[in-house]
């Protein structure tokens, strides 16, 4: 049953040197440096994509040299609905030229990954000169690639890897 709008908000968990913007049974969205980190464990919703868009808008002024989005499909999350796919394809890549790159991590193999990749094909078709999109099978390779796409601290790759690790260790809310 959804919480009423006047119910007190559940406090967000803390991660060392990162800001958590959403954490529920389906997704965790956090920011470390100029990278938005999105861990999907369950059903990705338009609400979680809107949170990502809001965070991106808030960070644009702080990081004029650009932002990156790193998305990890952890476990076997549910494949997104048609509405979520349409929202992602139309809103995520085009709404803000400050978004320089998107790294998609799908460590799984087999039919699920094939289905996800076919859903992401329209996203790859919308990419432009200002944004690169790439898929990876592990966090380390995605973090390394992401760090090369941005002007960030020299330790950006390690920061990304540590923060993703901490996000995966967060207890899920009840």
pLDDT the model gives residue 119 = 67
Task: Determine the pLDDT at residue 122.
Answer: 62
Q: Sign of the C-alpha dihedral, residues 157, 158, 159, 160? A: positive
pTM for this model (two decimals): 0.83
What length does the chain have?
174
**Higher pLDDT among residues 116 and 123, named by residue:** 116
Residues 124 and 122: their CA atoms lie apart, in Å, by 5
Q: Residue 82 phi/psi, 5° resolution?
A: -60, -40
The mean pLDDT of the chain is: 82
Contacts of 78 (CB under 8 A, 6+ apart): 42, 43, 44
- Residues with Cβ < 8 Å from 163, sequence gap 6 or more? 15, 17, 18, 30, 32, 37
Segment 140-144 shows an average pLDDT of: 96
- Range of lowest pLDDT (4-13, 29-38, 41-50): 4-13
Band (pLDDT 50/70/90 cuts) for residue 3 is very low
Sorted by where each starts, the structural domains of the chain and their CATH numbers stand as 19-169 (3.30.750.24)
8 or 54: which carries more pLDDT confidence?
Answer: 54
User: Averaged over 150-158, what is the pLDDT?
Assistant: 86
> Per-residue pLDDT tens for 64-93?
788 999 999 887 777 788 898 888 777 765
């Amino acid at each position: 049953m959804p919480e009423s709008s006047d119910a007190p908000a559940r406090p967000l968990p803390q991660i060392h040197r990162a800001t958590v913007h959403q954490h529920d049974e389906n997704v965790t969205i956090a920011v470390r440096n100029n990278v938005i980190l999105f861990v999907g464990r369950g059903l990705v919703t338009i609400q979680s994509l809107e949170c990502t868009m809001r965070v991106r808008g808030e960070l644009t002024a702080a990081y004029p040299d650009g932002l990156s989005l790193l998305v990890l499909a952890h476990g076997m999350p549910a494949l997104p609905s048609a509405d979520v796919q349409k929202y992602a394809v139309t809103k995520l890549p085009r709404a803000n030229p400050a978004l320089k790159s998107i790294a998609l991590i799908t460590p799984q193999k087999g039919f699920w990954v094939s289905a996800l990749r076919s859903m992401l094909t329209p996203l790859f078709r919308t990419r432009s000169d200002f944004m690169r999109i790439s898929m990876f099978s592990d966090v380390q390779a995605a973090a390394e690639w992401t760090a090369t796409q941005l002007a960030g601290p020299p330790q950006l790759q390690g920061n990304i890897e540590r923060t993703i690790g901490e996000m995966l260790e967060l207890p899920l809310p009840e």
